[in-house]
Every structure is written in C-alpha cells, then in structure tokens.
Amino acid sequence: MKGLYVHIPFCEHICFYCDFAKRVPKDQHMIDEYLNHLISEINLYESHFDSIETIYIGGGTPSMLNTIQTEKLLKHLSLIKPSEYTIEVNPESYTKEKGMLYKKFGINRISLGVQTFNQKILNALNRKHTNQQVDETVSHLREIGIHNINLDLIYALPKQNIADLEFDLEYIHKLNPTHVSAYSLILEEKTVFYHEYLKGNFKIMDEDLEAQMYQKIIQCLTNDGYEHYEISNFCKPGYQSKHNLIYWSMGEYIGVGVGAHGLIDGYRTQNHRVLSDYNIQPQLEKTLQTLEMNLQDELIFGLRKIQGIDILELEHKYDFKLLNRYPKLIEKIDQGLVSYQDGILKLTEKGIFLGNQVFMVFI
C-alpha cells in the first residue's frame, strides 16, 4: 500500500504536551494562504494519485478548519480514491455540518482526540472539550454512517492514578469505538510541560506506576475484544489502521504540509516546520535511504507490531544473518525481552514494556 499524510498545523489553543508542528493562526487569511501552498505541494505528487490507498489528515487540529476551508481541501483530494480515509477531529471543533462534509467526500475513519475523560486532568493539559461533546460527536458520526472511530488516549498524565485510568477505560467500554490508540505521556522539548519540568514544577510519573497503567490498558481492552496489534494500538477485528501499518511495514507514503515526513521512491523527505519557511519552499531535506538505513527501520518499526517480523524473509531481502549482524540481540533474548522462534522475531510480554531497550540494539 501507499499512503498520503496531510498536515494541518493550526490549533485554537496549544496543548501543554504537544510537540507536533502547530500554531494558533493570526487570522483566517493565514489558513487560506497555507491551504493554497498545501494544495500546490499535493499537486507535485499527482503521478502517485492512482496508487494511493490511504489518506490521513492530521495536525494540529484539522477539524478547526471552517466548512469552506474543509470543502476546498477535501474537494482537491477527491481526485484520489483511498480505501481508508482518516481525519483527526477534536470534539470541541466538530459540527454536524463538518461531519456531513467528511461523509460527502468519502472520509470513512475518524481519529478523535480524547486523551482522557477526567475533566480536571483535561484542564491541566489545556484541552478544551467536555465528555458531552465526545458523546455527541461519536453519536453523530455513527448516525451519518461513519462507524470506524479511533479514540486517542494518553496515560501517565500529571497526578493521574490507577482509578483515573480505570474511569477512562470504563468510558471507552461504553463508547465502544473500533480502535484505540493509547500512548504514555512523553516529555518533549519545546512544550509547556518541558519548561515547567525545567523549573521544577512538573513531576514525571514513576516508571512502575506507568507500567501498571499500560498493563491495565492491555488487560481491559483485550477483555473487551480488542486485538493488541501494535505496542500502542488496539482494534476490533478487521479495524487495524491501514495507514499506520504502512509506517510500521516500511511501505511508501507521501508527507505534505508543515513538518510532514515521507518515504517515497527510496527517499525520506522532511518538510519545514516553520510556516513562513514552508510557504516559500515546502521541503527541508530529501535523503536517499541506504540498505543499512532500511534494514534498521524495518527491524525497529517491525518490532512495534505484536506479531513480530519474519526474519527469514528479511535476511533474504538484505542478505545478512540476524545474530551475526546484531550479536547484542542474544543478550536481549536471554533477558526475556525478545523471542526468536521459527524464524519470527518479536517482543515478549515483558519486552513490550521495555521495547526501547531492544530497539537500541539496531541503532
């Protein structure tokens, strides 16, 4: 499969944990100008349109575009006919009119930025939606026939405890989405939380408690019938994220918009993160991938998938022997972090919690 990622950098407010390319727009003209440059960049890849099978519109907050701006972008993308078509939505900026536009232009998957259902913690993250808005958004999407809904969840949040997480998981059980993405909070540079951390006002969660939370998420979601198919992702049968599987399987994808990354025609691409620079020239750099780079990426991204990697296939593709190339991997096998049986390399239940220790072997 080949994918297209489209980045909308604008937000009505900045979440305190977010490190993605984003900004609060000065006015509507800034958004309109950006969309013109974005569409021009999309046109550069017109020769790929027929082979694109997934589109993912992310951000930022794509749902903050007004209806005219939304229609302008989606109308241009309508030249592409993907099998999976996702847009990220924040509950507070969703309207029934926007939902009908999504449906009209073939969007069949919504990724809803929920993060937590605890209003006090939401406020601490500088999130502006309410649980009622989440309920109303999910209800309307189903009403208009968009049933493939992902909920984004963040755990290991400031002052969060196991009871808070259990409440989130009970709420997810009630909403019964087709997909859940659950990520632990990572302290990223150039975020409000990071600056608070430098001033001594932010405390990182204890690793043991974070591991307990992750274990609780796995237990509850698998009990609810979700397949744990990637370290941070869970789905009902048949609802894996096709677009994200492209990333994890080293498929080709085009990245357009501020800060977007791509992997196309053997090159990794990276766009400017600053809006003014992007509007002059979208692409910051384009790097030809070597076989060594591709092998490293296939091992790291492939191990994120719970099913693991077919090493025999990989050894044939890259003409190498796994344990000869990476002898330190034997230590990780002995530690019980990774298993290597019948030609399949995968993280163990213990290794899923400590995946970065395994990934470092390949860097």
pLDDT tens track for 284-310: 999 999 999 999 999 999 999 999 999
pLDDT at 164: 97
pLDDT at residue 145, as a whole number: 98
Q: For position 190, what pLDDT does the model report?
A: 86
Convert the pLDDT of each residue in 175-222 to its tens digit.
999 999 999 999 898 899 999 989 998 888 999 999 999 999 999 999
pLDDT given at position 161: 96
pLDDT of residue 154: 97
Report the CATH number of the 2-247 domain. Answer: 3.20.20.70
Predicted pLDDT of residue 1: 85
357: exposed, middle or buried (Cβ count in 10 Å: 0-12, 13-18, 19+): middle
Domain boundaries, the chain: 2-247, 290-363
Listing DSSP states for 75-112 in one string gives HHHTT---SEEEEEE-GGG--HHHHHHHHHTT--EEEE
Q: Which residue has the tokens 């080709």?
A: 252
Per DSSP (E only), the strands in 224-276 are: 227-230, 233-235, 252-256, 261-264, 267-271
| CATH 3.40.50.800 correct for 290-363 | no
- Enumerate residue ranges in the chain where pLDDT < 50: none
Report whether 6 contacts 271 (CB < 8 A).
no
Q: Is the peptide bond before 60 cis (omega within 30 degrees of 0)?
A: yes
What is the reported pLDDT for 112? 98
What is the per-residue pLDDT for 63? Answer: 98
From 120, 107, 113, select the one nearest 73 (Cα to Cα): 107
pLDDT computed for residue 162 by the predictor: 97
